[in-house]
Amino acid sequence: MTKLADFIYFEMNMSPRELRRILGVKDRSTVWRYLTGKRIPQPRVLQKIYEISGGRVTLEDFLDPAPPECAELIRLPDGQQKMLLPWSPERTIREQDHPEAVPEARISPPIKRALEVLDGRGWFTPSGKVLLDGRVTDFKRLVQAANETLKARGQDPIPYPGVAPLHD
């Protein structure tokens, strides 16, 4: 079983915003509820999640009450427990204050491969932004640029959600 939050964080290094665009969901709070397990996606969206995850994230993952591995559970002053995901504002602020605490191991295999292919054209800033040719970009554009390079070399593209295969 793979929780959606774990899949996009550990394996795709994707933000909830990127996931929302890929799924075609308008409200960002809806995606947040999917990630925290507070909402089960409609069948059309669930099918898209299944497809982009290669079948790793299924309905059973949304029915499982356990928190995602990437979540940090904190106790609030009133005794309630709160789940912080990697994209939670409270957690993001801590990581920005201490960028050395964000391990490189968080970079997903497709993004690592794209950075290797781009050979110095893509990199991360200390604040966690990704750059391509010196400009801030997203992971999808990073993979697209790497795939263009791979196509020119006659090599197979890097599969990544939202990146269409290049055609001749």
Question: Do 22 and 74 reside in the same domain of the chain?
Answer: yes
CA–CA separation, 142 and 118 (whole Å): 9
Q: Which of 114, 168, 122 is nearest to 146 (CA)?
A: 114
Domain boundary residue among 58, 80, 99? 99
Q: Spell out the residues 6+ positions from residue 140 whose beta carbon is closer than 8 angstroms to its own.
A: 18, 160, 162, 163
Q: Does residue 124 sit within a domain?
A: yes
pLDDT 10s digit of each residue in the chain, 168 long? 899 999 999 888 888 988 998 999 999 899 999 999 999 999 999 999 999 999 999 999 999 999 999 888 888 777 788 888 888 776 654 444 444 444 454 677 888 899 899 988 887 766 667 788 888 888 889 999 999 999 999 999 999 888 877 665
116 plus 69 within the same structural domain: no
Residue 108: its pLDDT value, please? Answer: 77
| Domain shared by 50 and 90, yes or no | yes
Alpha-carbon gap, residue 137 to 125, rounded angstroms: 11
User: Are 3 and 72 in the same domain?
Assistant: yes
Q: What are phi and psi of 75, to 5 degrees?
A: -100, 125
Amino acid at 147: N
| Pair 64, 121 in one domain | no
**DSSP SS3 for 145:** helix
* Beta-strand runs (E) in the chain: 72-75, 81-84, 122-124, 130-132, 135-137
Name the 3-class secondary structure at 28: helix
Q: What is Dmax (Cα atoms) for the chain?
A: 60
- 89 and 122 share one domain: no
Residue 166 lies in a domain: no
pTM of the predicted model, to two decimals? 0.62
Q: Residue 125 sits in which domain range? A: 107-153
DSSP code of 68?
Answer: P
Same domain, 12 and 94: yes
Domain count, the chain: 2
- Of 62, 77, 99, which residue is a domain's last? 99
Residues 129 and 52 in one domain: no
Asked whether the beta carbons of 14 and 35 are under 8 A apart, the reply is: no
